[in-house]
Structure 1
């Protein structure tokens, strides 16, 4: 056996490393959507926001030579999409689901149009923390190579959980999400709060896009998202609108996405493409598991359109 070959131990290591890498965009999109939905609005346009953020982040990182400038640009682009979504949904007789689908198509179309010149150029990558440098095995080193955005996302999940649980800002968002009438009786302006929440949620989705184009897979192309923005909406429902549970669910999705490459790394190639379908099968299974009338919307904000 080659001294760098660790056999089937490579499978759980590869799944661990893949879960960390693949879960990061799910984490940022789901945390942003969690905030948006806790304010009483659903944003199905996050797929377009994520793709446009990936393009904008890659383009700015290439032009400036600074990947963090790309992340900032992606966040601003995502915030702009979220702001447009929030403003349009604040108009009377406007359906937030229809607006989300329209903005998803708009974001993807704009990204494909403006991103054509950046398919070939190579932008600088985001830095990673080498937690596996103590090992001589390249598999361990690769599995424990953690991107900085994953650490930031994990910290953000804890902060957002604390904000919802123990701060005035979190209480305001929750009240607005549960009852527009109660919020108005308290002297709050629900539309403004929802617009702000949707904009912040969009910024988080934009950062997720920058992660895709600037780290994993680390390039810009028109098929970069693979539906992660839409799957994240299902993830938020599965996590019961809890940021900590969003973190755990994102890791679960990430592990499912890493299953195919992990098995291939040890020579298991039969049904290779079926393993790549694992995240989509998991999404479908989660939707079925949470679709009972008894618990489907347990913990859902009262003002969400999907609860009415």
Structure 2
């Protein structure tokens, strides 16, 4: 009986943790998926995520409105995405190198301006209880979700449908698969990539605001722990499919929640090893993804990593 109770505790803790931890992964991966669908890679989303976390927290603290913080964090992310998009359209510029530079720039800027907001407590985002139907407190806790998680699900479905069934989606896919073909159809390739990179930055900024305003719910310089970079691996694992990005984000979230879930039932030995689960998963995904039989299958043809 005790083993069953412990197992259910771990299960519900992992469900709750997966929902919380997956949300930033979901937003960043959807933004990167859209960006890569247009034929560009943005490795700078780690810096955008961190800067979005700092900006959202600062705005929430100064104005008392966490949702305004989320919106401004998205705008800050848009600015970073636009910078990346503009620089990458210049001749003989490598988008991977620019992404690394933007990552360092974003994190450095966030650490510089965020020093004053490490101690103060900003108003946090509220949650929606989807488990009121249950008398089990573990179920109720597991189903405490933030509205951004639900927005992320809707956005994944919308992007999947839009890329597949709309003219705009066709333009983005054509631009990513073959720039000459897009140019022949009269598409402004640079503009499409600029806009998708900017919107990808917006989503990464929103994902960062979730980190600082909901879970973990504070601003510190070590807040992201590489989630922006892991999201790039997640997109490859999801084979550039927004719906698969949602599933992969939940998987990464569950891996990240494994350590705290085991600790909740008193298993503390190897705790730090279980905390490393998302990073080990990222490594395994990259190894599997670059196998000779599956190497970048489904990747847009214009990505620099396919050439």
Superposed pair shares fold, TM > 0.5: yes
After the TM superposition, which of the residue ranges 121-130 and 190-199 deviates more from structure 2? 121-130
Partner of 1:80: 79
How far apart are the structure 1 equivalents of 2:135 and 2:211?
28
How far apart are the structure 2 equivalents of 1:135 and 1:73?
37
Cα deviation for residue 181 of structure 1 reads 0.4
Cα deviation for residue 52 of structure 1 reads 0.1
Partner of 1:59: 58
Partner of 2:279: 280
Partner of 1:162: 161
Cα deviation for residue 142 of structure 1 reads 1.7
Deviations 1:115-135 (A, max 9, x none): 011111111111211112333
Alignment of 1:28-43 (within 5 A): 28-43=27-42
How far apart are the structure 1 equivalents of 2:231 and 2:8?
30
Cα deviation for residue 189 of structure 1 reads 0.7
Partner of 1:89: 88
Cα deviation for residue 294 of structure 1 reads 2.4
How far apart are the structure 2 equivalents of 1:7 and 1:195?
50
Alignment of 1:170-209 (within 5 A): 170-209=169-208
Structure 1 segments, 4+ long, off by >4 Å, are none
Cα deviation for residue 292 of structure 1 reads 1.4
Partner of 2:44: 45
C-alpha RMSD of the superposition: 1.3
Deviations 1:104-149 (A, max 9, x none): 0000000000001111111111121111233344322221101100
Partner of 1:247: 246
Cα deviation for residue 235 of structure 1 reads 0.2
Deviations 1:198-224 (A, max 9, x none): 000000000000000000000000000
Tell me the secondary structure at the aligned position of residue 82 of structure 1: helix
How far apart are the structure 2 equivalents of 1:297 and 1:214?
35
Partner of 2:123: 124
Tell me the secondary structure at the aligned position of residue 218 of structure 1: coil
Deviations 1:16-50 (A, max 9, x none): 11000000000000000000000000000000000
State the aligned residue count.
306
Give the TM-score taking structure 2 as reference length: 0.98
How far apart are the structure 2 equivalents of 1:51 and 1:306?
25
Partner of 1:295: 294
How far apart are the structure 2 equivalents of 1:243 and 1:134?
31
How far apart are the structure 1 equivalents of 2:303 and 2:231?
16
Tell me the secondary structure at the aligned position of residue 126 of structure 1: coil
How far apart are the structure 2 equivalents of 1:7 and 1:161?
38
* Unaligned stretches of 5+ residues in structure 1: none
How far apart are the structure 1 equivalents of 2:184 and 2:23?
39
Partner of 2:147: 148
How far apart are the structure 2 equivalents of 1:209 and 1:57?
8
Partner of 1:98: 97
Partner of 1:220: 219
Cα deviation for residue 295 of structure 1 reads 1.4
How far apart are the structure 2 equivalents of 1:287 and 1:179?
25
Cα deviation for residue 53 of structure 1 reads 0.2
- Is residue 259 of structure 2 the alignment partner of residue 260 of structure 1? yes
Cα deviation for residue 6 of structure 1 reads 4.3
Partner of 2:18: 19
